[in-house]
Amino acid sequence: MKKNKAKNHFTWALLFIGAFTFIAFSGCSDDEVEPAEDPIASFQYAVSEDDPLTVIFSNFSLNAETFSWNFGDGSTSTLENPTHTYENFDTYEVVLTATNVDGVSRSFTEVIDLQDPFVALGLLAGQESKTWKLYRVETSMGVGPSAGSREWWSLLNDGSRPCKYFHEFTFNRQGEYIFDDKGYMWGEGGVFHPDLVGECLEAIPANMVGPDGQDLSAWLGKTHSFEFDPTTNMVTLDGLGAWIGIVKVATDGEVNVPQSSVSFKTQIEERDGYDYMLVTFDYGEVFWTFSYAHYYDPSLEPEVVTEQEGIDPLDELTPTEMFNTFASTSEDDVKVLVPTESTVELTVGVDDPADADAAKVGRYRRVASLYQELQFATEYYIQFDNFTKVSIDVYIPSSNDFSGALTKDIAIIIANNHDTPEWWNHHLQYDVDPEEVKLDEWQTFTFELAEPTSGPGEGNPLTRTDLNFFAISIGSGGHEVEGTFYIRNFKFE
């Protein structure tokens, strides 16, 4: 009996323990621990002002408990915000690994280029001073959507702007910056008075005048000062009128009057017989870049081409008809206004969005590019003796998203792109008031040729004899937002 009683007590104990275990595990099922969020590894760094080999790291990681640093020179650290001193100036790949409470890790890598400030300054300013001139081989300057691109416009040593290639920019080791204009300045479009645009001007105050009489003389040759940051290769020119590249290109965007300081990034390469410097102005979606050279042996420097070759005046054409219906590419639908190079996608002969049974029209689709226009360039200077008006029909669907940068702006542009590719510095423009634009219906917009509404160009088509370029802009040019529109009956009457 005692044995059986003991057995019963043991049995009850097991049942109790089992029941407790079941209850305990059942209780946990309602209170499961959520996994921790994945970590995000990130850091920034700054080079010490007191020691160019010492780098201060700032950790900006998220959702992390522990950190592991690899400084790229064999050294490591587990501190959250370490400071590390390198032994040599070099390029190092720094890796930060951030780990959360669950042991999940993520890494972030940054390449750090540590330069000896004295060596870096020597590349820019020499042992005492160093003089730079525009690179006379390949393109010397240009603008595009990225730092390595000059696709929108570029300049060659082809005689089109010879005075630019004679200019000298000298950096003195003691901090002086000297611009020598060599007696000439280039009349920059959109900056100088229209009477002075597009030619090499004598470098005197009388020629340094803006469109509204602004005093531009501070841009003439003068001595200024400069500051150089070898950790970022940033140069700041200090002094009213200090510039490099083109007078209008400044720190954060283009300007039309002299600035008190200008900052830009440099990249210098040592090449055979000369040093090459790339100057970059980064505006986010727009990059101006300029190429300069310093020759140790001046005899190796190519000559400046002083006269432009290969551009002959165009013949003149006085048409009696000029139009494009965009219904097809046949001569019945196109006279003179044949689409050429363009930054939009044009499809002719599509259904009318308002009436599929009506005559075909053109679809004008913006793509992911800045400064979008449908362009037409002719092989003749057009004489407008038989015309007084220009018009176009436009249909803007409400399916476009106008909540951002896309607008209802519509413009017709007339210019000369034969004598200079920078037509935007000399064009005539006819603008539609966006308030007058209606959605989901065709509208005809007509302009008097004698009355351009905007643009830096002189006169009007009835007084000019050198116009060969036309463009249609819809949605505004200076952004990458896509949009789809329809056009028909672009015509002169």
Q: What DSSP string runs through 250-274?
A: -SSSB-SS--SEEEEEEEEEEETTE
What is the pLDDT, as a whole number, of residue 493?
A: 97
DSSP string, 13-44: HHHHHHHHHHHHHHHHHTSPPPPPPPPB--EE
C-alpha distances out from residue 158 to 140, 142, 169, 186, 308, Å: 11, 14, 21, 15, 6
d(CA 259, CA 363): 44
Residue 8 inside a domain? The answer is no
In a domain, 21, yes or no: no
pLDDT for 17 equals: 42
Is 457 part of a structural domain of the chain? yes
Asked if residue 15 is part of any domain, the answer here is no
User: Do residues 327 and 273 share a domain?
Assistant: no
Query: Based on the domain organization, do 288 and 324 belong to the same domain?
Result: no
CB 417 within 8 A of CB 341: no
Q: What is the pLDDT of residue 314?
A: 87
pLDDT at 33: 76
Reduced to 3 states (helix: H, G, I; strand: E, B; else coil), residue 369 is coil
If asked whether residues 392 and 467 sit together in one domain, one would say: yes
Q: Which of 61, 95, 114 is the last residue in one of the domains?
A: 114
Instruction: Give the SS3 label for residue 236.
Output: strand
385 and 480 housed in the same domain: yes
Q: Are residues 334 and 462 in the same domain?
A: yes
Cα–Cα separations (whole angstroms), residue 45 to 54, 61, 254: 10, 13, 30
Do 141 and 57 lie in a common domain? no
Among the three residues 52, 80, 114, which one is the final residue of a domain in this structure?
Answer: 114
367 closest CA partner among 396, 340, 346: 346
**pLDDT value of residue 9:** 44
Let me know if residue 11 belongs to a domain.
no
Are 337 and 462 contained in the same domain? yes
The predicted pLDDT at position 409 comes to: 96
Asked if 100 and 66 sit in the same domain, the reply is yes
Query: Which domain covers residue 480, as residue numbers?
Result: 315-492
Write out pLDDT tens, residues 283-321. 988 999 999 999 999 899 999 999 877 666 789 999 999
- 20-73 per-position pLDDT tens digit: 444 444 444 556 778 889 999 999 999 998 898 999 999 999 999 999 999 999
Res 189: pLDDT:
86
Looking at the structure of the chain, the number of domains it has is 3
**3-state SS assignment for residue 249:** strand
Could you tell me if 285 and 319 lie in one domain?
A: no
Q: Render 417-447 in DSSP notation, one character per residue.
A: -SS-S-GGGT-EEEEE-GGG--BSSEEEEEE
Total Cβ atoms within 10 A of residue 1: 5
Please list the ranges in the chain whose pLDDT falls under 70. Answer: 1-31, 310-312
Strands 374-382 and 315-317: parallel
Q: How far apart are CA 325 and CA 403, in angstroms?
A: 30
